[in-house]
């Protein structure tokens, strides 16, 4: 009898384990309930399938859901059938573990997620009571999400309700406000509750409210105009000089915000700003004196052209692209010449104004040895399939697509199919020589195999090459798929490519991108001024990807030439460029500035004596100063690797370290030469201030310096101390 009873138990267990997965055949057809449309969104809204809970790759507490519900069929099985159906109890729905955990009737590591009085609780209970239906296979599917606000303009400290509407494949619409995940990009301007109630703070500005629902995203913008009684605001906005398309969009946004622009920067400030940002150096004393004395009305545009034609422009932007393309030696000894050759190639491409699409094509489709084809160096650091995809998307498309390698992207529409569609373009790339990142050899050669494929990690199917949101591409066996990738990227209708470049340039000159972070372009991270980004991108395409053309547009705009001086009426405006936002100099530019104003150059082992920091070819040429002030190690393709945040260590270094003190007090430096000069102090002080700040000293500064000189018997020491004091100011270390 005991044997028969045990056998019966085993038979029941075997039957239970052999039940098919997927929509259960026994499910009651309930036209009003559908797992994908009704139940899965609740799990997402409550955070059950987030990356920190059951949506993580290993699940939590033995319960695993797909991240943010992108695989509803898998989630249906996990909820209704997982662990032999222990989470649901149709005979008594209220006793279901799914509900008892969510309401904390039993202990739950995720805390309380529901109240028994919530509508979501009632819907889950009804679904369980209906025997957990999957729903009809021909049930409508969501096609679009819309979120609307009664009025986009709100007053400070006000509240307004958002409405979220899902539009389905059969044309029906449903209010899904309670099920949408809302987020405010700028909570300091406006916050949004879980149920879509927008509350503005007492601050002028604009913020997008992002809504996510069933893999769809929608944006609603909230504008909080300034409550500004100043009568001349309208006049200042109306009289704003429209230099080009940039200013047209900027002034339109400022009118919406009722924030007046700052005054135009003086000649000295503009000269210093544009020289530092285009050429990566301070203006020379001769350049400053000539520019300040030139009366020509178009001298600023002429200056921009001169700087773009200078070798310093090529040096400065070659360093920027060497960072992004990870031109990294990794300290290998003996020195492999690849990084130097690649840096030289990048510099020559910038100097000759190579069209950007050709620049990108030469890098991505590079083959051979770096001594023959320097762009092949990119494959020396970007060595593996996932890096090919991640770096290509981030650098050239402005998309951080790495999340889609393992699961559907949580903040974008891109799936694993999209990720491996891009990966398939690189499926035949191989190399000879060198086993890993740290074992590269000088004779390493990149080539394209005759065959090669990429498989989807979940399904095992071979993935065909395809661009994002595009159909698969059929390629002949002899074709290099990477050329097809660049063809798709650089096509005029591919807005990712052109928008990514112009946004990166905007971020370089203004300190923040129209989309910020500047290499994270996505629907859920919209530009502050979308029409401006779109028109700049179109202009870039129309110019046949002329990189200098974009820089001219930016630097010749009135917006770029605004003063950095904030007033009471635009102090809190930090996104829409009512003034120029000060930026600390990049590490290499700052070090060159110290060298320039002190007259004492920094030496780099193995390089000519006149080499500047902005000309260093790779990360292995470095020193304590560059590391301390945020020079990137080129470990990633992210702009964020370079840091410009000030720190106490940096301040102490500039004030006390012998490296900087030695430059200020050197007997062969600029300060010593001024001390030995027989001209009067006011004349020499004027020269010192022009060299450091591109302006003459104010009457108060002249008075203070003269009094200090009178108190100091050692003239050389006095000039050295004054130079040290000027180098320690924010005015010297910042672009303003």
Instruction: Output b/e per residue, 524-535; b: 16+ Cβ within 10 A.
Output: bbbbbbbebbbb
Enumerate domains of the chain plus CATH numbers. Answer: 19-129 (no CATH), 142-224 (2.60.40.1080), 355-490 (no CATH), 584-735 (no CATH)
The confidence score (pLDDT) of residue 411 equals: 67
Percent of the chain with pLDDT over 70: 92
- Cβ atoms of residues 175 and 211 within 8 Å: no
Query: Any residues with CB less than 8 A from the CB of 117 and at least 6 apart, and which?
Result: none
Asked whether the beta carbons of 448 and 414 are under 8 A apart, the reply is no
Greater model confidence, 165 or 212: 165
Are the C-beta atoms of residues 581 and 596 closer than 8 Å to each other? no
Per-residue pLDDT tens over the stretch 656-674: 999 999 999 999 999 999 9
**pLDDT, mean of residues 343-350:** 97
Q: What is the pLDDT of residue 410?
A: 67
Q: Higher model confidence: residue 44 or residue 396?
A: 396
Q: 23 pLDDT exceeds 50?
A: no
Instruction: Please choose, from the candidates 93, 94, 84, 74, the residue with its C-alpha nearest in 3D space to the C-alpha of residue 131.
Output: 93
DSSP 68: G
Average pLDDT over residues 330-347: 81
Tens-place pLDDT, residues 182-234: 999 899 999 999 889 999 988 888 999 999 888 788 999 999 998 865 668 88
Q: Which residues of 265-282 are buried (b: 16+ CB within 10 A; e: fewer)?
A: bebbbbbbbbbbbbbbbb
Q: Find which of 401-405, 476-480, 577-581 is predicted with most confidence, using mean pLDDT.
A: 577-581
Cβ within 8 Å of residue 254, ≥6 positions away = 237, 240, 260, 261, 576, 578
Segment 240-256, tens digit of pLDDT: 999 999 999 999 999 99
- The pLDDT tens digits of the residues spanning 415-450 come to 788 888 899 999 999 888 765 555 566 778 899 988
Q: Report pLDDT digits (tens) over 303-329.
A: 999 999 999 999 999 999 999 999 988
Rounded CA gap, 387 and 368, in Å? 19
Contact 686, 706 (CB under 8 A): no
CB 204 within 8 A of CB 573: yes
Provide the pLDDT for residue 570. Answer: 84
> Tell me, what's the pLDDT at 2?
40
Residue 1 scores a pLDDT above 60: no
Which residues have CB under 8 Å from 251's CB, separation 6+?
237, 240, 242, 261
| pLDDT at residue 615 is higher than 70 | yes
Distance separating alpha carbons of residues 3 and 613, to the nearest angstrom: 84
Look at residues 452, 457, 385 and name the one whose alpha carbon lies nearest to residue 422: 385
E-assigned strands of 170-322? 173-175, 181-184, 190-192, 197-200, 205-213, 216-224
pLDDT of residue 534: 96
Mean pLDDT of 33-55: 86
pLDDT band, very low/low/confident/very high, at 337 (cuts 50, 70, 90): confident
701 falls in which pLDDT band (50, 70, 90)? very high
Residue percentage of the chain with pLDDT more than 90? 56
Candidate ranges 23-32, 33-42, 251-260, 264-273; pick with highest mean pLDDT: 264-273
Averaged confidence pLDDT in the chain: 88
If you average pLDDT over residues 575-603, what whole number do you get? 95
User: Is the separation of the CB atoms in 444 and 451 below 8 Å?
Assistant: no
Task: With a cut of 60, say whether residue 369 has pLDDT above it.
Answer: yes
Q: Among the listed ranges 73-87, 358-372, 526-540, 673-687, which one has the minimum average pLDDT value?
A: 73-87
């Amino acid at each position: 009898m005991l044997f028969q009873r045990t056998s019966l138990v085993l038979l029941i267990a075997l039957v239970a384990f052999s039940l098919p997965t997927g929509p259960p055949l026994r499910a009651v057809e309930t036209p009003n309930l559908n797992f994908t449309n009704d139940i899965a969104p609740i799990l997402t809204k409550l955070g059950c399938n987030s990356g920190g809970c059951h949506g993580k790759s290993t699940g939590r507490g033995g319960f695993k859901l797909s991240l943010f519900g992108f695989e509803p069929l898998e989630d249906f099985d996990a909820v209704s059938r997982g662990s032999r159906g222990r989470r649901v109890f149709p005979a008594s729905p209220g006793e279901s573990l799914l509900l008892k955990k969510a309401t904390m009737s039993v202990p739950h590591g995720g805390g309380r997620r529901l109240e028994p009085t919530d509508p979501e609780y009632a819907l889950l209970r009804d679904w369980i009571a209906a025997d957990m239906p999957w729903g009809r296979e021909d049930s409508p599917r969501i096609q679009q999400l819309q979120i609307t606000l009664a009025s986009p303009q709100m007053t400070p400290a006000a509240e307004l309700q958002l409405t979220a509407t899902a539009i389905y494949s059969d044309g029906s619409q449903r209010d899904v406000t309670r099920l949408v995940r809302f987020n405010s990009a700028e909570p300091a301007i406006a916050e949004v509750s879980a149920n879509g109630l927008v509350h503005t703070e007492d601050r002028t500005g604009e913020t997008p409210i992002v809504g996510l629902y069933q893999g769809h995203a929608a944006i609603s913008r909230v504008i909080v105009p300034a409550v500004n009684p100043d009568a001349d605001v309208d006049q200042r906005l109306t009289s704003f000089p429209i230099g080009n398309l940039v200013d047209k969009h900027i002034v339109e946004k400022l009118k919406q915000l009722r924030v007046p622009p700052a005054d135009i920067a003086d000649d000295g400030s503009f000269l210093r700003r544009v020289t530092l940002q285009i050429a990566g150096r301070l203006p020379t004393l001769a350049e400053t004196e000539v520019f300040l004395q030139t009366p020509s009305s178009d001298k600023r545009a002429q200056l921009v052209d001169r700087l773009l034609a200078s070798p310093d422009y090529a040096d400065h932007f070659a360093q920027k692209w060497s960072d992004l393309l990870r031109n990294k030696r990794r300290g290998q000894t003996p020195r492999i010449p690849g990084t130097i050759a690649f840096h030289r190639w990048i510099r020559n491409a910038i100097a000759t104004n190579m069209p950007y699409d050709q620049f990108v094509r030469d890098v991505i489709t590079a083959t051979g040895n770096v001594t023959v084809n320097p762009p092949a160096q990119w494959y020396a650091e970007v060595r593996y399939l996932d890096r090919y995809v991640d770096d290509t998307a981030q650098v050239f498309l402005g998309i951080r697509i790495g999340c889609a390698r393992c699961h559907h992207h949580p903040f974008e529409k891109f799936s694993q199919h999209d990720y491996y569609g891009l990966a398939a373009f690189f499926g035949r790339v191989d190399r000879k020589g060198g086993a890993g990142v740290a074992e590269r050899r000088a004779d390493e050669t990149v080539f394209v195999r005759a065959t090669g494929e990429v498989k989807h990690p979940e399904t095992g199917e071979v993935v065909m090459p395809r661009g994002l949101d595009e159909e698969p591409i059929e390629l002949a066996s002899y074709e290099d798929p990477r050329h097809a990738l660049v063809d798709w990227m650089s096509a005029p209708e591919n807005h990712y490519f052109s928008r990514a470049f112009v946004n990166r340039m905007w971020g370089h000159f203004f300190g923040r991108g129209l989309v910020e972070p500047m290499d994270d372009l996505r629907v859920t991270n919209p530009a502050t001024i979308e029409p401006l980004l779109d028109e700049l991108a179109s202009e870039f395409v129309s110019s046949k990807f002329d990189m200098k053309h974009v820089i001219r547009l930016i630097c010749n705009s009135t917006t770029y030439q605004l003063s950095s001086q904030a007033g009471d009426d635009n102090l809190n405006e930090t996104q829409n460029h009512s003034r120029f936002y000060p930026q600390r100099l990049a590490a290499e530019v700052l070090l060159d500035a110290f060298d320039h104003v002190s007259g004492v150059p920094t030496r780099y082992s193995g390089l000519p004596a006149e080499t500047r920091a902005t000309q260093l070819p790779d990360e292995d040429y470095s020193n304590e100063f560059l590391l301390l002030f945020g020079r990137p190690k080129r470990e990633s393709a992210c702009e964020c690797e370079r840091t410009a945040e000030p720190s106490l260590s940096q301040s102490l270094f500039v004030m006390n370290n012998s490296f900087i003190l030695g430059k200020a007090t050197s007997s062969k430096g600029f300060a010593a030469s001024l001390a030995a000069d027989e001209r009067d102090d006011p004349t020499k002080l004027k020269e010192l201030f022009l060299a450091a700040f591109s302006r003459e000293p104010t009457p108060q500064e002249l008075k203070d310096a003269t009094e200090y000189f009178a108190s100091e018997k050692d003239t050389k020491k006095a000039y050295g101390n004054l130079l040290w004091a000027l180098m320690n100011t924010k005015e010297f270390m910042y672009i303003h």
